[in-house]
Structure 1
């Protein structure tokens, strides 16, 4: 394994033609140059220089290393510049894996601020429902995972993960315009026992079944889909009603549906997950901060 300092010194010795000349250029003593070259030769395993009168001549190994030294040093300089840019947040790539409604609300708001303040940061979007989004984080397929959690569904986190709460996302019942209960400001879950229901992702469906069971009935689920727009269209067509998070209602609004608060009040927690060691990466920490800020702006939801 070469020491980059030794390569720099070797390159200067070759350019200067002697240890003493290289020492003057680099500000070292001649014995220090000699010691570095001896250490480099030990690393290489063969001599790099031979004496030629009062000067130095490269051995075959020295000539081979001299051909590569400039390239090695240029690569090191480029790497240092790139790492410096990453540390100063002038560049960087952060992969965010989120569920659809977060990708449509929180992520765009956070990304817009990043582009304005740190145009060198690039955010790549992936989409997955929890727990798949968190599994992708653990597999190294993304840098930040956004997920949601309903009451009673908490799971033990692996020690390498850090959980960051973003917001409490209230749930509403989605009704077709003209439904008798649509005239109310809030709708009791107990009053929806005879309705047909449209369920969402597995976690959303499990939550629906649980909260209805708490009210003493099993909902009649006639349709299941992860597509939020399809849910609204099905409700508008009178196929059934649905439980919808406020994040979804903020960007999808079918003219023939309306949302009403449910009683007792229901909310889900929206969370960000990151590997503990990745919190030390400036770009990842910055994106996480912007996601927190975007969530804070929606805290009234």
Structure 2
């Protein structure tokens, strides 16, 4: 392996044509240049120069090394610039996995901030529900994942992951705008026991059934779908009502759909998860900071 310091000195000697000229250009003494070139020759195992009068002439090995030195030094310079950019948060790639409602709200807001503050940081988006989304980080397929947990239904988080709480997301009931309960600011789940329901992902559905069971009834689930837009369309057509996260309220697309909070309030915890060692990677830390800032703004609203 070549010592880059010695290689830079060698390149300057070749350019300048003598040890003394290279010493003046580099700000070294001539004996220092001589010692460095001897060290480089010991490293490669053969002489690189022969003296011809007052000038140094390259040996065959020296000519071969000279042909490569410039390219090697240029590549080292490019690599150094990239490392500097990465450590100063100017660039980097971060793979972010999120569940749909966070992917439609928290993530775009964080990326907009990131694009302004650190445009060189590139984010690749993935979508998955927990617990699969957590496993993606463990397997090295994602750098950050956003996931949610419900009280009493919390699953074991892989020990390799660090949880970073972002916000508590209040659950709502989405219903047709003309529904009698839509006139209220908040609704009680037990008052909707006779309704037809549209259920979401497995984890959300499990929590919904758990909350209904706690109130002493089993809901009539007529449709199940993970697609938030499909849920809204089914509700808009009067085919049922749905329990959905509060994050969804910011992108309700049907004017015939209304969202009402539950009374008493029911919430889920939204957190970011990352491998502990990745907390020290600048680009990953920057994305986490933006996600925390976006979440804090929503909590303060």
What's the TM-score, normalizing by structure 1? 0.90
1:83-108 deviations in Å (ceiling 9; x for gaps): 22333333333332211211211122
Structure 2 residue matching 1:129: 3-state secondary structure: coil
Q: Describe the shift of the 1:254–1:77 C-alpha distance in structure 2 as closer, same or farther (beyond 3 A).
A: same
Residue 36 of structure 1 and its aligned partner are, at CA, apart by 2.7
Consecutive unaligned residues of structure 1, counting only runs of 5 or more, are none
> How many angstroms apart in 2 are the aligned matches of 1:290 and 1:54?
62
Partner residue in 2 for 1:153 = 153
Partner residue in 2 for 1:59 = 59
Q: Is the deviation greater in 47-56 or in 94-103?
A: 47-56
Q: Describe the shift of the 1:300–1:196 C-alpha distance in structure 2 as closer, same or farther (beyond 3 A).
A: farther
Q: What is the RMSD of the two structures over their aligned residues, measured on CA atoms? A: 2.2
Partner residue in 2 for 1:196 = 196
> How many angstroms apart in 1 are the aligned matches of 2:45 and 2:130?
55
> How many angstroms apart in 1 are the aligned matches of 2:46 and 2:211?
76
Q: Describe the shift of the 1:161–1:42 C-alpha distance in structure 2 as closer, same or farther (beyond 3 A).
A: farther
Partner residue in 2 for 1:75 = 75
User: How many aligned residue pairs are there?
Assistant: 301
> How many angstroms apart in 1 are the aligned matches of 2:284 and 2:70?
34
1:42-84 deviations in Å (ceiling 9; x for gaps): 3323332334444433222221111010111111112222222
Residue 286 of structure 1 and its aligned partner are, at CA, apart by 1.7
Output aligned runs, 1:70-149, within 5 Å.
70-149=70-149
Consecutive unaligned residues of structure 2, counting only runs of 5 or more, are none
Structure 1 residue matching 2:135: 3-state secondary structure: helix
> How many angstroms apart in 1 are the aligned matches of 2:244 and 2:128?
18
> How many angstroms apart in 1 are the aligned matches of 2:50 and 2:131?
65
1:12-61 deviations in Å (ceiling 9; x for gaps): 12222333332332223334333333332333233323344444332222
Give the 4+ runs in structure 1 shifted more than 4 A: none
Residue 4 of structure 1 and its aligned partner are, at CA, apart by 1.0
Q: Describe the shift of the 1:181–1:206 C-alpha distance in structure 2 as closer, same or farther (beyond 3 A).
A: same
Q: Describe the shift of the 1:3–1:160 C-alpha distance in structure 2 as closer, same or farther (beyond 3 A).
A: farther
What's the TM-score, normalizing by structure 2? 0.90
1:155-199 deviations in Å (ceiling 9; x for gaps): 444444222111110001122233333333322222333322211
Q: Describe the shift of the 1:49–1:156 C-alpha distance in structure 2 as closer, same or farther (beyond 3 A).
A: farther
Q: Describe the shift of the 1:41–1:111 C-alpha distance in structure 2 as closer, same or farther (beyond 3 A).
A: same
1:196-253 deviations in Å (ceiling 9; x for gaps): 2211111111111211122223322221111111111112222222111111111114
Q: Is the deviation greater in 101-110 or in 34-43?
A: 34-43
Q: Describe the shift of the 1:43–1:200 C-alpha distance in structure 2 as closer, same or farther (beyond 3 A).
A: farther
